[in-house]
Amino acid sequence: MTTVLRYKFELGCVLVLVLAFVLTQIGVNNFFFFAGFAVVQFVMIATAWNILGGYGGYINFGTAGFLGVGSYTAIALIQWSDVSIVPQIIIGALMAGLLGLFIGYFTLRLRGVYFAIATLALAIVLETFVNNWDFVGGAAGISILPPRNPELLGVMIVDRKGAGIFDNNTEFLFFLISAMAIFSVWIARTIERGKLGRGLNAIKDNEEAAECMGVPTLRLKLVATTVSGSLMGAAGAIFPNYLTFVDPLTAFNLEFAINALAMPMIGGTFTWIGPVIGALLLGTVQQIAIVTISSELNLLILGVVLVIFVVAAPHGIVGWFMKKN
């Protein structure tokens, strides 16, 4: 096989990123980038969730907690001294990764539904904490003013008059989240195809047997929660710049937790493409539904679709197509 074929996934990643960039440069309506950000952010969140939930079989209900830690780390950094967006994301990812390691250490001995409940409790505890933390706005929330002309390594990123790479912040954020989502998918796929992914699969199938076959189950689960958590944290850290107003209710919204598990389950949990398909599909449908119907009905639709899939296509869209072939 030629080298090109061997790296076709990596090439695909680059192509998608180039496409995202080109879209920001050809005068597409700004609403596309606003809605597109939400969809691509879900690709990242679903992909991150699937590393622990899909490969390892541990259902994390605390996605909102990890996102919230990312968001509020970013807000705290802005409040503290106007730290710029790239370090916001890196530190947000680090904090959420640490949280993943910490939570993992204390909860990963719990199996099945107990783990799920523990992670749900985590999100609630964190939300309560932020509700009472005035430095980042407390329960009332906080407005974030994205910098007018952000620069990166001396290059002007955004300028309304055309002197920067992007004409507005939304375009920039869309490109940035696209790059982050692609990176996450690459990480997930690398894990899936490596020793770690095979070990996590063994854990999902039978944890005790995996341990007795030499798989260091606790260590693998800790790596998975840390990686998964830090990617979620990164997806959360970029959020304040996009929303410009953040309150705990938004940042810790349970809808994230539901979407994070619904999207991989609908797309298919056993391979990286499943969460991507699920998030693109459900994310787009929801963006349309939010505009045309209401966000409550939106959640109902999500629930119904999830139930249908769990019953009729337990291996998701990917599994359904693979069976057909």
Binding site for other proteins (CB under 8 A): 195, 198-199, 201-202, 204-206, 208-218, 270
Task: Retrieve residue 103's tokens.
Answer: 């939570």
Q: What are phi and psi of 29, to 5 degrees?
A: -55, 140
Could you report how far apart the first and last alpha carbons of the chain are, in Å? Answer: 24
Residue type, 120: L
From the CB of 219, what's the least distance to other proteins, in Å? Answer: 9
Beta carbon nearer to other proteins, 218 or 299:
218
CB of 192 to other proteins, least distance (A): 13
The residue among 130, 103, 89, 75 whose CA lies nearest residue 232 is: 89
Query: Which amino acid type is present at position 136?
Result: V
Q: Which of 175, 173, 142, 145 has the alpha carbon at shortest distance from 251?
A: 142
Exposure b/e, 250-279, CB count within 10 A at least 16 = b? bbbbbbbbbbbbbbbbbbbbbbbbbbbbbb
CB of 323 to other proteins, least distance (A): 12
**Cβ atoms of residues 49 and 264 within 8 Å:** yes
CB nearer to other proteins: give 12 or 314.
314
Beta bridge partners of 142: 246
Nearer to other proteins, 117 or 218 (CB): 218
Nearer to other proteins, 212 or 300 (CB): 212
Q: In the bound complex, what is the minimum distance in angstroms from residue 195's beta carbon to other proteins?
A: 6
| Nearest-approach distance from CB 306 to other proteins, in angstroms | 21
Nearer to other proteins, 209 or 297 (CB): 209
| Residue ranges with strand state E in 155-202 | 155-156
Tell me how far, at minimum, the Cβ of 244 lies from other proteins, in Å: 44
Of 22 and 212, which CB lies nearer to other proteins in the complex structure?
212
Q: How far apart are CA 259 and CA 135, in angstroms?
A: 30
